[in-house]
Structure 1
């Protein structure tokens, strides 16, 4: 028995001894002797291919915040790639770099006190090889046509973006005249990458966008932090044409779009994240944006439009936004759909080749407080332009011409507005046929929308259930204005009215709309105004409208035949 135990014990010791050297190599902080081997041309033991750690200091990098380490860091990445992948380690220190390229099967690990710091010199940067030039492609760190790329660890990537501040932006926003500033590095670009993982690290001070993730698939982002407010166009995430993207547990504070989803992004989830920006949080443009779920997010101090959809040649459908808190925002939700472009034959022919639509949108469990006008963030070191139409904002659903926004539901929504809108705003009826940006709709004086809660034009299949709209100061505008809304159900609406407003809800050119169990929270002149001869199939069913002087009033040829009223 003792002999058997001794043999077993010896076997275990022998086994541990046999694996001890590789195990240390795998879990150690550096790849011992790696730089010497690289110089002498000796190959690493092939048994360790794909499992080595390459410390950038072993390649000559110095973390003194002064030495340019681009060549050293790139050499570590290149050898890691050649030896079937592994981990490139950034130890404690500030390592200055210009443009570097990540490659397949390489994990860039940022140790707790490790920082990659962007060079302040323009000549140290270049365009990413193979990265399209749209919005500029000068970059600090990039990967193109790569797979299994990771950036992990609790260290920092700092773009040193203040060194590139000129006071000029890229002029790609609404009503821009071109001539933008593109000659500055993005922090990171990933183009046509598969199986991309970003975890735990801190990203800050980009000279341009923080992340540009383009035409990638299988993207997982977990627990990263972005603080990007030193330059114009400081986006957080900027996605184009990506699939199977999952973002969780992230904190983003930026100056421009926090999570732009342009083009044909599909199968995207965002959950358990917090955001703040001067511009938009979730921004969508044209393309096939489909099957996107956003949930359990905190949005605060966002003085643009937290959820913004501005689409033309779009096939946008199946978007859900649930369990979202918005604290101190303007323009909480803005949806614009202009339909196919008519600017030139090429655009027109492309636009008519397939149908366009914006449909199947769900908003559920949203609590928002809306301020009257955007303000500058104290930590953004320059003034940010405030557009006239950003004053006294509301939820906007705005389709143009013969186009419709279809199948939209708002359930369990509670929005508190600052209020204070004037009678001049309330009298505004000639709403421009524009949907480029949510606030450009309201730019012509008097600035601001004619409703304080929701303005909807050209919408089919609209559902409002358990929606509560309130203001802090009396507002002369209606809470809801519907213009050419069809097939609409409103259940359990609780809304503040005002004696300074001529009505609380106004319908123009609307059909087949049913309001049931509505409750007027404060005294008002009228609950519902029906405006014009073309309204039909309306129903007001029950509810508590005791605080209205009149339940329904009629204007511009509207008659009682347009509505059925049941006590």
Structure 2
């Protein structure tokens, strides 16, 4: 906690410093606000000039400022006043497309003491940009791998900052990007506060990606994205996300609400997720996926409320790309959590929905799933209530709880980790496999309709303590099924 407070104090001091620096109106550099003049060169000239003068603030007033890629440099602060909109060009050649995967509207590398703030907007016009890029790829003019007709490398993000220090992103709205909305990659001392993300115009619109960053605070923000809303990633096996707090945010996604992964090469340590809300989310409210050799340790989640989401909790170790080491998950606490799971698709009606499944399964439980020989270790679930629709139909999809049934569930260690990957599971509330030192304290599983499945299934669980666990389901039914599990203590 002292570490987080120190980050806040450092960033607050930086805010005071940049407000006292020289201010320059955008119009001073010939930057036009008419929405039609391409301002890339003049905005870059302004940034370069302020940087060379030792730093200052570039202020955009009411208007639409059309631009391609601009590179932010040390000691330069951009302020978008209310009514100011930084508009991304729809011409793909106006972006740094020869610099993938760093292609972005706003880009910086190895810059320090930088910020983007104000009540203005960054609008990437992402749908038009993406389809214009697809057109150029189809014509053979641009080479870019197409995955399901989606360019893999050269779609511009909204913001991409790499190896930057002392960064503040505050109050702005970021919308309509062609790729991930904002990426902070190997950055240190980063504050993101009171921002709004609204990006549902194309695939892979992650709302916020924090990649191998250190000393980060994300607070008081609203994120609505067609892909993972708040996402931690680790791309470098020698790096990790560390000392991070996400507090007082609201997230909606057609993928996951708050997610660690999927790429997890290095790992995550000392991360706090405090007082956040998730709604209308297709996949999991909270996910930790470690399929690539990374180590996950000391994760604390408190007061997470999720409504109309496809899954509550998904913790998963896998073995996908790692060849020289094995990923681990150790010491995860999730407490004071309330989740409501619907019977129907939770993101129906949004522009880019999660995939429509064709009669594959009944509603999935919360899942904690290691792999043979590698347990998920030291997980505590405390003061949690998960409400399910119930009513699973054994004639629709069936999975029994006899030893042969449970042994027949595939491990799928190399598969892309998603809670639905096993299709039908034998529990409706919680399924735990390959785990040790598990604590369930004051956890309530509620099903609104009768269930054929057991409420909780433990398979290869070593040492678990259950106290105050309640199972609310019409007609009763099986509560806890234990298979190849030892030292299970219930109070």
Per the TM superposition, whether the score is higher than 0.5 is: yes
Distance across 2 between alignment mates of 1:49 and 1:454: 51
Confirm or deny: 8 A CA contact 1:372 1:393 kept in the other structure: no
If the length of structure 2 is used for normalisation, what is the TM-score? 0.85
Pairing 1:425–2:398 present: yes
Counterpart pick for 1:261 among 228, 232, 237: 232
Tell me: CA distance 1:166–1:120, structure 2 relative to 1, closer, same or farther (3 Å).
closer
Distance across 1 between alignment mates of 2:368 and 2:362: 17
Counterpart for residue 183 of structure 1: 154
Which one has a larger percent strand, Structure 1 or Structure 2?
A: 2
Question: Aligned to 1:411, what secondary structure does the other structure show?
Answer: strand
Report the RMSD for the aligned CA atoms in angstroms.
2.3
Counterpart for residue 58 of structure 1: 28
Pairing 1:487–2:463 present: yes
Give the unaligned 5+ runs of structure 1: 1-47, 170-175, 517-567
Distance across 2 between alignment mates of 1:335 and 1:244: 24
Tell me: CA distance 1:89–1:128, structure 2 relative to 1, closer, same or farther (3 Å).
farther
Counterpart for residue 432 of structure 2: 456
Deviations 1:114-142 (A, max 9, x none): 1100011111111486xxx3xx3221111
The offset of 1:53, in angstroms, is: 1.2
Larger RCO of the pair (alpha carbons < 8 Å, separation 6+): 2
Question: Aligned to 2:373, what secondary structure does the other structure show?
Answer: coil
Distance across 2 between alignment mates of 1:460 and 1:222: 37
Counterpart for residue 164 of structure 2: 193
Confirm or deny: 8 A CA contact 1:168 1:232 kept in the other structure: no
Counterpart for residue 490 of structure 2: 515
Counterpart for residue 316 of structure 2: 336
Question: Aligned to 1:332, what secondary structure does the other structure show?
Answer: strand
Tell me: CA distance 1:180–1:92, structure 2 relative to 1, closer, same or farther (3 Å).
closer
Counterpart for residue 116 of structure 2: 151
Tell me: CA distance 1:50–1:493, structure 2 relative to 1, closer, same or farther (3 Å).
closer
Counterpart for residue 338 of structure 2: 367
Counterpart pick for 1:303 among 282, 293, 297: 282
**Which residues of 2 match residues 249-398 of structure 1 at below 5 A?**
249-263=220-234, 264-285=240-261, 286=264, 287-312=266-291, 313-339=293-319, 347-348=322-323, 350-351=324-325, 356-380=327-351, 382-387=352-357, 391-398=362-369
Question: Aligned to 1:408, what secondary structure does the other structure show?
Answer: strand
Counterpart for residue 448 of structure 2: 472
**Which residues of 2 match residues 89-108 of structure 1 at below 5 A?**
89-108=59-78
Distance across 2 between alignment mates of 1:113 and 1:240: 31
Pairing 1:434–2:402 present: no
Deviations 1:500-549 (A, max 9, x none): 84x22211011000111xxxxxxxxxxxxxxxxxxxxxxxxxxxxxxxxx
Confirm or deny: 8 A CA contact 1:335 1:438 kept in the other structure: no
**Which residues of 2 match residues 2-81 of structure 1 at below 5 A?**
51-81=21-51
Give the unaligned 5+ runs of structure 2: 1-17, 135-146, 235-239
The offset of 1:383, in angstroms, is: 4.7
Alignment length (residue pairs): 443
Query: Which one is further off, 50-59 or 192-201?
Result: 50-59
